[in-house]
Structures are given as C-alpha cells and as structure tokens.
Amino acid sequence: MQTIPQTEISLIAGRVQFVRDSFRAGLTRPIEWRRTQLQRMIAMLTEHEQEFLDALRHDLGKPTTEAFITDLAFVTGEIRAMIKNLQKWNRPVRVASPLVTMPAKSRLMPEPLGVVLIIAPWNYPVQLLLVPAAGAIAAGNAVVLKPSEISASVSALLARLIPQYLDQGAVTTVEGGVAETTELLDQQYDHIFYTGNGVVGRVVMTAAAKNLTPVTLELGGKSPVIVDASANVGVAARRIAWGKWLNAGQTCVAPDYVLVHESLQDKLISELKSVITDFYGVEPHHSESYARIVSPHHFDRLKALLQGSTVAIGGDSIAQDRYIAPTVLTKVDPSSEVMQEEIFGPILPIIPIADLNEAINFVANRPHPLALYVFAENKKAIAEVLERTTAGGVTVNGTIMHLTNPRLPFGGVGESGMGGYHGKAGVRVFQHLKPVLLRGTMIDPSIAYPPFTERKLRLFRKVL
C-alpha cells in the first residue's frame, strides 16, 4: 500500500496565516504578478509533463493520451485563456446610473476575495486542483491547495513542484488525509472551493458556516442518459461509451445510467458491445487505452454493485490489477444499490422506458444530476427534455463535452453542487464585484435635501 504524503498538522495554521499576511500586504494584487504565476503554472506542466503522466499512470492507470488531454492540455488551455483575457476580466465594468444619483458614474470593480482554499479529488487530480487554482490566482487571491491523498503520486509531485514554480508567499500546498483536511477546515478563509462527493461536501459546508465563508461545491450524482426513440443509435453508443469508460468511469459527469426507449434497447446493447471492442479490443484488460480503479477499496465497492442485475457486457475483473471491464447491466431494479448511489466506475445500467414522458419523470423524481445527456433527432423531444428536467449542465447528442466550452460555466445544482467555474466564470467565482458610485461636486441641487415641500414631492412623483 502506498504511503499517504502528509503535511505536519502543527504547520497548517501558520501556512494559512502566512499567505493571508502576503495577501493583506498586496502581493497578489498586481496584474503582472498574476500573469507571471499563470505562466509559471504552464511551465511547470510542460517542463515536467512526463513526470505528471507517470504519476497519473501510477495512481489511476491512466493511458498517456487520455491523461495528457484531460489532466494537462485541459489545464494549460484554460490558463492560456485566462492570460489572454486577464486585463479585460479584471477591468472595472461601467453601468448606468439612475437620475436620482446625478451627477454620478457607476461601475463594478472586480476585487479578490482574499485567501481561497481549494480541495481537489483524486479522479482528475491535476485538472481539478489547478484549474480552480488558476482562476483564484487570476482573480488576485492567495491560495491554499489540498490535493487528494488517494492519488498519492500526483499529490507528492504537486507538493514538490508548486513551491519551485509559484510564489510561496501566496501559494501553499497541504498534503494528507482526514486529519490534515480537518485542520485545514478549522482555519478561516474567504472562499472554499471543494470538488468531491456530497458527504464530504456537507462537512465542508458545515465548517464554512462557522465563519460564514462562501463555498463552491462541485459534487456529483447520477448523471442520466436519455435515448429517445428518434435517436441515432450508432452515434449514441459511441458517444455514451466514450463518456462512460473514459478514466474507467471515474468521472463526475460520466453517464451513470441509460434510459432507452424499449424498442432500441437490444440494438443499443449490441452497438455498445461493438464499440467497446473497437475502443479497447476483445480483452480490454490488455488495452493501453483503458484506465484502472484508483484503489482496492473502490474496487470492492464497485464489485458489490454488480449484484442483483444481469450482466449483458463485461463483468469480469482482476483484483490485483484493480481492473473491472467495461460493463453493461440489464434487468436493473430502480431501487437497487447500483441505482441509489453514484457509480463512479465502469458499470453502466440500462433501463428500458416506454416513452419519453416516462424517462423525463424518472429523472425529475430524483435529485438534480450534475449532468444530463439526451440523444434524439426529434427537436420537440429535445426541447421537452430541456424544459422539464433540471441538471447542472446538458450535452445534447453527446456526453461530457459541455464542460469543455470555457464560455459555459460548469457546476451543479441542488445536491450536485453550487456555483460554477471555467473560463471567465472561473475567475469571477473568486471575486467580489464591488459596486462603486462616483458623484461629482460641481452641481449639488438643493431639491435633494430637506426641508421637503409639496413642490418637491410633486417633482419627485414625476421623476422617481
């Protein structure tokens, strides 16, 4: 078993206070400081690319291409967009002023919140730590970073490299498990950004409530796929398979289950079987394109979820390699455990539905998912799904891709989270838009002041 890297608990409060002192001294305010930190973050990822790829493979068995795209290129792409727009996104925004304030000008001034705590998960341990960190830095904050101890190799690498590349006066990293995270949450912050599950999300929110600290919670949930009777089944199968078995299903927006029109169930399963072979070969265990389950604990949890349903595809596993094949389940009881908790693995339940209305009601009667996917050629069917369901984000005739557009904020709703980020939203979430009214003094009409006469009242009635 791999040793969990840990930061000495007695040092944590001092580290948080140190970056707070730096923030209060104005270290993070200059745009050029922010730009330099973002550039250095890109340099860290590019100059140590192979080390990151090796660590991701060690922790999660991530294929090189998959790891490069999802955990490295995604991050550098987001940061480059922040650098390009840094000046514009931090510029005051002028807004109109009402007549009653004249003479005056109004503006919204973006200002950093202060010290931000970012707690990342293990499934995309580089992306989900550094993308929010980049947004917090671009917004002018000091940052405390907590990588996941479960992806221990990546955590150790980040803890070693971040002090070499980023300003230690305003960016610090804390490693460890429950004890270290508990100590971190006992400190005071100006914003907490947490990505993970709802159980820990509630712990984070409870801790934040002590100081009325605002939070962004990027949680998960059971993201459904609706396959309408009008769907292109061949395309649907490829895109579902790609989204589901990326990172061996360990993706917060992975398709969690499929509601397919009963007339298309057999065809969809047949297409999925063919696609799995195309993607990963006859024996996915030997594929260089298929990842592994992160830990024995998660492997055992996923194996237990296979009970009680019919395995239509896959189902085989190798414990010592933390391997579970791409698996499709049928004859799934909606009340079974596999339909109650987020699967977060390579298991895909398929449930036949009689019509679109049944599928919509199935989704609407459950907690709001982080993502929803609908496959249909019928535009009315698509519109009906969009109008009658609620989800953090939606991709139509695809999976996962909505989060790749930096102009679309990514986040959950209800039990799947609160707040959004990526692109400009990934900077704004760490800022306060301070309202400022600037009044001139050359004109100071007496009508605004007492004594209030009937004449003034008549005028007020006309202009207010």
| Cα–Cα distance measured from residue 409 to residue 427, given in angstroms and rounded to the nearest whole number | 11
Average pLDDT over residues 244-271: 97
Stated pTM of the model: 0.94
Model confidence at 1: pLDDT above 60: no
Segments of 120-190 assigned E as strands: 142-146, 171-173
Model confidence at 447: pLDDT above 90: no
Closest CA to 220 of 249, 253, 247: 253
For this structure, is 415 an active site residue? no
| Domains of the chain, each with CATH number or no CATH | 9-219+415-436 (3.40.605.10), 224-411 (3.40.309.10)
Considering 78, 149, 252, 271, which one is annotated as catalytic?
Answer: 252
| Cα–Cα distance measured from residue 83 to residue 192, given in angstroms and rounded to the nearest whole number | 23
Q: What does residue 116 show for φ and ψ, rounded to 5 degrees?
A: -115, 130
Using the CB atoms, write b or e for 196-210: b if 16+ within 10 Å: bbbebbebbbebbee
Q: What does residue 417 show for φ and ψ, rounded to 5 degrees?
A: 135, -175
Contacts of 132 (CB under 8 A, 6+ apart): 118, 120, 193, 195, 216, 421, 426
Q: What does residue 323 show for φ and ψ, rounded to 5 degrees?
A: -110, 130
Q: How do residues 329-377 score in pLDDT, each as one tens digit?
A: 999 999 999 999 999 999 999 999 999 999 999 999 999 999 999 999 9
Closest CA to 344 of 239, 198, 233, 203: 198
For this structure, is 8 an active site residue? no
Q: How do residues 217-247 score in pLDDT, each as one tens digit?
A: 999 899 999 999 999 999 999 999 999 999 9
| Cα–Cα distance measured from residue 180 to residue 190, given in angstroms and rounded to the nearest whole number | 19
* Side-chain-side CA neighbours of residue 139 (13 Å): 31
Considering 149, 175, 180, 218, which one is annotated as catalytic?
Answer: 218
- Helices 127-138 and 74-89, packing angle to 10 deg: 10
